[in-house]
Amino acid sequence: MTKALLLSLIGIALLMLACETSEEGCLDIGAANFNVHAVNACDSCCVLPVARLDVDLLYDTLNFRFGTDYPLSHTDDTVRILSFSLPFSDFTFNSPSTQYRVKDTMLNVTPQTLDDYFIIESSAVETIGFTDFVDNINSVDCTVGYEKAKLETLQPFIDLHPTIRALEVTSRFYDDSLDVFFVADLAIEIADSVRSLQIVSIDNSRIQLQYEEPIEPALGLPWTIPLSIDLRQMLIGIDSLQTNEMMAETIGANISASISSN
Backbone angles phi, psi at 19, to 5 degrees: -65, -40
pLDDT tens digits, 36-78: 788 788 767 888 889 999 999 999 988 899 999 999 987 888 9
Contact 244, 190 (CB under 8 A): no
For position 2, what pLDDT does the model report?
57
Q: Do residues 37 and 55 both lie within one domain?
A: no
Q: Do residues 111 and 69 both lie within one domain?
A: yes
Q: Do residues 120 and 225 both lie within one domain?
A: yes
Q: Do residues 121 and 90 both lie within one domain?
A: yes
Q: Do residues 20 and 134 both lie within one domain?
A: no
For position 49, what pLDDT does the model report?
87
**Is the model's pLDDT at 232 over the cut of 50?**
yes
Q: Cα(209)–Cα(196) distance, rounded to whole angstroms?
A: 29
Q: Do residues 192 and 249 both lie within one domain?
A: yes
Q: Cα(62)–Cα(16) distance, rounded to whole angstroms?
A: 65
Contact 62, 81 (CB under 8 A): no
C-alpha closest to that of 231 among 195, 260, 194: 260
Domain total for the chain?
A: 2
Average pLDDT over all residues of the chain: 86
Q: Which domain holds residue 22?
A: 3-41
For position 58, what pLDDT does the model report?
96
Q: Do residues 74 and 37 both lie within one domain?
A: no
Q: Do residues 154 and 253 both lie within one domain?
A: yes
Q: Do residues 89 and 191 both lie within one domain?
A: yes
Q: Do residues 33 and 113 both lie within one domain?
A: no
Torsion, Cα 164 27 13 18, to 10 degrees, reads 10
pLDDT tens digits, 23-33: 788 887 778 78
pTM for the full predicted model = 0.83
Q: Do residues 10 and 31 both lie within one domain?
A: yes
Q: Do residues 173 and 84 both lie within one domain?
A: yes
For position 77, what pLDDT does the model report?
87
